[in-house]
Amino acid sequence: PPPAGTAPRPGALSPFDRRLKRKQKNWAALQAEPAKCDYLREEVGGRIADRVFDIPRTFPLALDVGSGRGYIAQHLTKETVEKLIQVDVAENALKNAVETEIPTVRVVADEEFLPFKEDTFDLVVSSLRAVTLTLVTLTSCVLQIHHVLKADGVFIGAMFGGDTLYELRCSLQLAELEREGGFSPHVSPFTAVADLGHLLSRAGFNTLTVDTDEIQVNYPGLFEVMEDLQGKYILFGDGNDFCMGESNCSWNRKPLLHRDTMLAAAAIYREMYGNSDGSVPATFQIYYMIGWKYHESQAKPAQRGSATVSFGDLAKIEGLISRGKK
pLDDT in tens, 13-51: 444 455 655 666 655 655 555 556 678 888 999 999 999
Q: Is a pLDDT exceeding 70 seen at residue 231? A: no
Q: Which residues contact 146 (CB under 8 A, 6 or more apart)?
A: 155, 203, 204, 205, 291, 293
Residue 228 pLDDT grade (very low, low, confident, very high; cuts 50, 70, 90): confident
Average pLDDT over residues 182-206: 78
Q: Is a pLDDT exceeding 70 seen at residue 232? A: no
pLDDT in tens, 149-190: 999 999 999 988 888 899 998 999 899 888 887 666 666 666
Q: Are the C-beta atoms of residues 21 and 235 closer than 8 Å to each other?
A: no
CA angle 263, 266, 269 (to 5 degrees): 150
Q: Is a pLDDT exceeding 80 seen at residue 86? A: yes
Residue 310 pLDDT grade (very low, low, confident, very high; cuts 50, 70, 90): confident
Segment of 74-83, 94-103, 303-312 carrying the highest mean pLDDT: 74-83
Average pLDDT over residues 110-132: 83
Instruction: Give the CA distances from residue 184 to residues 52, 169, 262, 269, 295, in Å, rounded to whole numbers and listed in that order.
Output: 39, 10, 14, 18, 46
Q: What is the 3-state secondary structure (H, E, C) of the chain?
A: CCCCCCCCCCCCCCCECHHHHHHHHHHHHCCCCHHHCCHHHHHHHHHHHHHHHCCCCCECCEEEECCCCCCCHHHCCCCCECCEEEEECCHHHHHCCCCCCCCEEEEECCCCCCCCCCCCEEEEEEECCHHHCCHHHHHHHHHHHHHHEEEEEEEEEEEECCCCCHHHHHHHHHHHHHHHCCCCCCECCCCCHHHHHHHHHHHCEEEEEEEEEEEEEEECCHHHHHHHHHCCCCCECCCCCCCECCCCCECCCCCCCCHHHHHHHHHHHHHHHCCCCCCEEEEEEEEEEEEEECCCCCCCCCCCCCCCCCHHHHCCHHHHHHHHHC
Q: State CA 234 to chain mean position distance.
A: 10
Q: Is a pLDDT exceeding 70 seen at residue 261? A: yes
What pLDDT is recorded for position 252?
42
What pLDDT is recorded for position 324?
61
Average pLDDT over residues 76-83: 96
CB atoms within 10 A of CB 10: 5
Fold of the 18-299 domain: Rossmann fold (3.40.50)
What pLDDT is recorded for position 267?
96
What percent of the chain has a predicted confidence (pLDDT) above 90? 42
Average pLDDT over residues 219-231: 85
Q: pTM for this one?
A: 0.77
Q: Is a pLDDT exceeding 60 seen at residue 97? A: yes
pLDDT in tens, 5-17: 343 444 444 444 5
